[in-house]
Amino acid sequence: MSWRERAACRNVDPDLFFPIGTAGLALVQIDEAKAVCARCPVREQCLRWALDAGQVEGIWGGTTESERRATRRRSARKDVERVGAEAF
């Protein structure tokens, strides 16, 4: 059984996870989507998939687009620091 088949969102309207905008009612929608993710047994696998696939839209693994972008930047920064340290 794949992680998607065990996801808490499997029977939820997918539109919930793709809010339009970042203000007003979209914030409520984001909170509702994150609440589904918070109780999901495969949240980490979902987030890992979204990061590996470069998924830029929607709520995945309980994270927004901007939260995943920040995670990718931190990861890239650590990679650069590690390579720099290995050069010496």
The DSSP annotation for 10-64 comes to: TTS-GGGGS-SSSSTHHHHHHHHHHHHHHT-TTHHHHHHHHHHHT--SS-BTTB-
Residue 82 predicted with pLDDT over 90: no
- pLDDT bucket at 73, cuts 50 / 70 / 90: confident
pTM for this entry = 0.81
Residue 27 predicted with pLDDT over 70: yes
Could you tell me which residues come within 8 angstroms of residue 29 by beta carbon, excluding any fewer than 6 positions away?
16, 19
CA 47 from centre of chain: 5
Q: Work out how many domains the chain is built from and give that number.
A: 1
Question: Looking at residue 80, what is its pLDDT?
Answer: 57
| Domain assignment of residue 27, given as a range | 3-86
Average pLDDT, the chain: 90
Question: Looking at residue 81, what is its pLDDT?
Answer: 60
